[in-house]
Every structure is written in structure tokens, then in C-alpha cells.
Structure 1
Amino acid sequence: MKLVVVLMLSALPLFCYAASGCASMEDMIVNTLNPSVTEDQYIEGLEEFIPADTSKQLLVEFRQCFLDQSNRTLSNVQVMMDAIYNSRQCASY
């Protein structure tokens, strides 16, 4: 789980640097961490980025890794992501 978070966070600056903006990534993270978002809503929100049905299943499993964590951990991940989005490096994008 920690490796997944590290890889996701290491890719975030590159995502912002590519000038594609952080809004899509932020929406994906919010939906990943929100247990009230259904599986269908989660996949629907990412539909344009999913190349195959196998990827859909992997995304569902990826999300489940987060949802298996305690609410405190999910809250801390959201705080961390907010700090990244409000950082000087992401602010200009």
C-alpha cells in the first residue's frame, strides 16, 4: 500500500508539470478516497482514461486498497493531497 502511494505521489508533479492541470487527478483521488462513491460512479468518472476491461478491474482493486484503510488514514491522505495541490510547485498549473 505504501509503495502505491509513493508511486502515485511521485507521478503527481509530472502530471502537473505536463500542463494538463491537477483537476482530473484531484477528482480521481477524491473519488478513490470517498467510500460513498459507488464502483460504477468511480469507473464512469475515469472512463476516458481506461483502455480495456482489465484496467477497470485493476482500478477497482486499487481503490479497494484505499478503502480497506481506516477513516483516519483516508483523512490523512486527503490532507496530504491538499498540501500537494496547494504547494508552490502545483499552484502555477
Structure 2
Amino acid sequence: MKLLPVLVLAVLPFYCYAGSGCPLVSQVINQAIDPKVSDDQYIENFKPFIPDAEAEDAVRQAKQCFLQQSEKTLTNAQVMVDAIYNSVWCEPY
């Protein structure tokens, strides 16, 4: 549970910078939160950006963290991402 806010906060600068002009960042975040996307499917979707087996394992573990969360937690994560994107800190981007 504590890993979820850390992951979202870690991508805040990239997410703000990307704004609506970077659909790839939005896809990474939205698919990480989406419980319908399996870890295998998530890896396959972003395979070109995963350089080696060690990175793949890290991405798989991160996605697995999201898959283990309740629906309420995932909904709250999406609300948090939306709040960050619409925050005053992201406004300049």
C-alpha cells in the first residue's frame, strides 16, 4: 500500500512535464492502475522500453503491486493521478 504513493510521486515530474502531449506516459500510468491489464500484457505493451531481464522483472513487480490492490485503492490511485495532473504544480506545463 505504501509503494503506490511512492510510485505515483516518483513519476510526478515526468507526468507534469508530459501533460496531455505525451500519451505514452498516460498509457504507462493508466495501464499500471488498470486491473484488467495483466502483468504479461503490461510487459508486452512496453517491451521496446524495457532494456533487459532485470528491468523486466522490476516492471513486472511494480505492476504486480497494482494487481494486488483492491478496486477502491485503484480508484483512489486514479483520483490521485488526476489531482496531480490538474494541480497548480503541473499548471505551467
- Which bin holds the TM-score, normalised by the shorter protein? 0.7 to 0.9
User: Alpha-carbon deviations, 1:23-56, whole Å to 9, x = none?
Assistant: 3222111111112113333112322321101211
Report the counterpart of residue 71 of structure 1 in structure 2: 71
What displacement does 1:3 show?
4.2
CA contact (8 A) 1:50 1:56 kept: yes
Report the counterpart of residue 31 of structure 1 in structure 2: 31
CA contact (8 A) 1:66 1:74 kept: yes
What displacement does 1:11 show?
3.7
Alignment length (residue pairs): 90
CA distance in 1, matches of 2:46, 2:54: 14
Q: What residue ranges of structure 2 are gaps of 5+ in the alignment?
A: none
3-state DSSP of counterpart to 2:28: helix
Give the superposed CA RMSD: 2.2
Q: Normalised by the size of structure 1, how large is the TM-score?
A: 0.76
Q: Which runs of 4+ in 1 moved over 6 A?
A: none
Counting aligned pairs with the same residue, the percent is: 44
Report the counterpart of residue 50 of structure 1 in structure 2: 50
The answer to whether 1:6 aligns with 2:34 is no
Q: Normalised by the size of structure 2, how large is the TM-score?
A: 0.76
CA contact (8 A) 2:31 2:42 kept: yes
The answer to whether 1:84 aligns with 2:84 is yes
Q: What residue ranges of structure 1 are gaps of 5+ in the alignment?
A: none
CA shift in 2, pair 1:90/1:44, >3 Å: farther
